[in-house]
Amino acid sequence: MGKRNEYFSKFGISTITFTDEELKDVDSCFSVIAKYLSERGVEKKNLSNSISNINGLFDELSL
């Protein structure tokens, strides 16, 4: 499950799978879930904003 969870995390997919063994420590599971819940409302990156940021960097370099 760890490799799968790392893959989802890498690409910003908020899906977490817990094994039976991990579910024995419910508090630990909720601390993992809390991380994702705390990120709600945080501005997500999108292509147009990223391009604008890059263009701004190039503008600074060309001064």
Q: What is the pLDDT of residues 8-18, one digit of tens each?
A: 878 877 788 89
Within-domain flag for 59: no
What is the sign of the dihedral through the CA atoms of 21, 22, 27 and 29? negative
**Per-residue confidence at 63, pLDDT binned at 50, 70, 90?**
low
pTM for the structure as a whole: 0.48
Q: What's the CA gap between 27 and 5, in Å, rounded?
A: 18
Is residue 48 domain-resident?
no
Tell me how many domains the chain contains. 1
Which range marks the domain in which residue 39 is found? 1-43
Query: Domain for residue 31, yes or no?
Result: yes
Tell me how crowded residue 16 is: count the other CB atoms within 10 A of its CB.
16
Q: How large a percentage of the chain has pLDDT more than 90? A: 24
The answer to whether 22 and 28 have CB atoms below 8 angstroms apart is yes
> Is residue 30 one of the residues assigned to a domain?
yes
